[in-house]
Amino acid sequence: MISLKTSLKPFQSALDRLRSMFSGNSLRRQKRHVSADGTSQLACERLESRYLLTLYDVGPGLAYTSIGAVPWSTLQAGDTVEIHGRATPYHEMILVSGQGTADAPIKIMGVPGPNGEKPIIDGQNAVLGPNLDYLYPTGTPTRGLLTISPSSQDAWGYKPAFIEISGLEFRDANPGNSFTRPDGTTSAFQANAAGIFVERGENITISDCEIDHNGNGLFVASGDSEEVTSRNILVQGNSIHDNGNVGSDHQHNVYTEAIGITFEDNHFGPLLPGSDGSNLKDRSAGLVVRDNWFEGGAHLLDLVDAEDCPLAVQDPSYQQTFVYGNILVDTAGPGNSSNLVHYGGDSGDAASYRQGTLYFYQNTVMIQGTRSGTDARWFTDVFRFDTNQQIADIRNNIFYCGLPPDAPAGTDVTGLGLFDDTAGTATFGVNWVSPDWHAWRNDDVPAGSSITGTSNFLTNSANDPGFTDLGAFDFHLLSSSESIDQAGAQASAVIGKQDPVDQYVVHQSHIARIVVGSALDLGAFEGPAPVGPGNIQFPATTITVSEKVGIAHLTVNRVGGSSGAVTVHYSIVGVSAVDGVDFHAASGTLNFADGQTSATIGVSIIDNLLSGPNKTLQVLLSNATDGAGLGAGKSLVVTIQNDESQVAGPSVVQFNQATYSVLVSAGQVVINVTRTGDLSSATTVQFQTKQGTAKAGKNFVSKSGQIQFASGQATQQITIQLVQATIGKRPKAFTVSLLSATQGAKVNSKAKLAHVKIAD
Cα–Cα distances in angstroms (integers) from residue 85 to residues 121, 168, 431, in the given order: 10, 9, 46
Task: Let me know if residue 751 belongs to a domain.
Answer: yes
Task: Let me know if residue 324 belongs to a domain.
Answer: yes
User: Are 609 and 487 members of one domain?
Assistant: no
How high is the mean pLDDT of the chain? 87
User: Are 552 and 484 members of one domain?
Assistant: no
Q: Are strands 432-433 and 467-469 parallel, antiparallel or unpaired?
A: unpaired
DSSP sequence for 533-564: S-EEE-S-SEEEEETT-SEEEEEEEEES---S
Model confidence at 573: pLDDT above 80 = yes
Task: Single out the residue in 613, 641, 669 at which a domain terminates.
Answer: 641
Q: Which residue has the higher pLDDT, 355 or 95?
A: 95
pLDDT in tens, 207-223: 999 999 999 999 999 99
User: Are 603 and 506 members of one domain?
Assistant: no
Stretch 685-706: mean pLDDT, rounded?
92
pLDDT attached to residue 548: 83
DSSP state at residue 530: P
Q: Give the chain's domain count.
A: 3
User: Are 329 and 435 members of one domain?
Assistant: yes
666-678 burial, b if ≥16 CB within 10 A, otherwise e?
eeebebebbbbbb
Q: How much is the pTM?
A: 0.68
pLDDT in tens, 453-477: 999 999 999 999 999 999 999 999 9
Q: Which residue has the higher pLDDT, 344 or 650?
A: 344
Q: How confident is the model at residue 8 (pLDDT cuts 50, 70, 90)?
A: very low
Identify the weakest region by mean pLDDT among 298-307, 355-364, 391-400, 442-451: 442-451
Of the candidates 232, 92, 253, 52, the one whose C-alpha atom is nearest the C-alpha of residue 160 is 232
- CATH, residue 593: 2.60.40.2030
User: Are 503 and 581 members of one domain?
Assistant: no
User: Are 613 and 729 members of one domain?
Assistant: no
User: Are 584 and 451 members of one domain?
Assistant: no
User: Are 474 and 390 members of one domain?
Assistant: yes
pLDDT attached to residue 10: 38
Stretch 668-686: mean pLDDT, rounded?
86
Task: Let me know if residue 559 belongs to a domain.
Answer: yes
pLDDT attached to residue 140: 94
| Kind plus residue range of the DSSP H or E element containing 2 | none
Task: Single out the residue in 577, 607, 641 at which a domain terminates.
Answer: 641
Dihedral over Cα of 429, 434, 438, 442: its sign? negative
Note down the domain range covering 417.
Answer: 308-530
Q: What SS3 state is found at 532?
A: coil
Cα–Cα distance measured from residue 31 to residue 747, given in angstroms and rounded to the nearest whole number: 55
Cα–Cα distance measured from residue 558 to residue 565, given in angstroms and rounded to the nearest whole number: 11
Task: Let me know if residue 138 belongs to a domain.
Answer: no
pLDDT in tens, 718-732: 999 998 888 887 788
Task: Let me know if residue 245 belongs to a domain.
Answer: no
Task: Single out the residue in 499, 530, 561 at which a domain terminates.
Answer: 530
pLDDT in tens, 594-643: 878 788 899 989 887 676 778 888 898 999 998 888 876 788 888 888 87
pLDDT attached to residue 477: 95
Amino acid (1-letter code) at residue 244 = G
User: Are 331 and 425 members of one domain?
Assistant: yes
User: Are 464 and 406 members of one domain?
Assistant: yes
Model confidence at 5: pLDDT above 60 = no
Task: Let me know if residue 215 belongs to a domain.
Answer: no
Q: How confident is the model at residue 3 (pLDDT cuts 50, 70, 90)?
A: very low
Task: Let me know if residue 140 belongs to a domain.
Answer: no
User: Are 612 and 662 members of one domain?
Assistant: no
User: Are 672 and 602 members of one domain?
Assistant: no
Of the candidates 631, 573, 760, 750, the one whose C-alpha atom is nearest the C-alpha of residue 176 is 750
Q: How many CB atoms lie within 10 A of CB 539?
A: 19
Task: Let me know if residue 296 belongs to a domain.
Answer: no
Task: Give, in degrees to the nearest 5, the angle at Cα 434 between 431 and 440.
Answer: 85
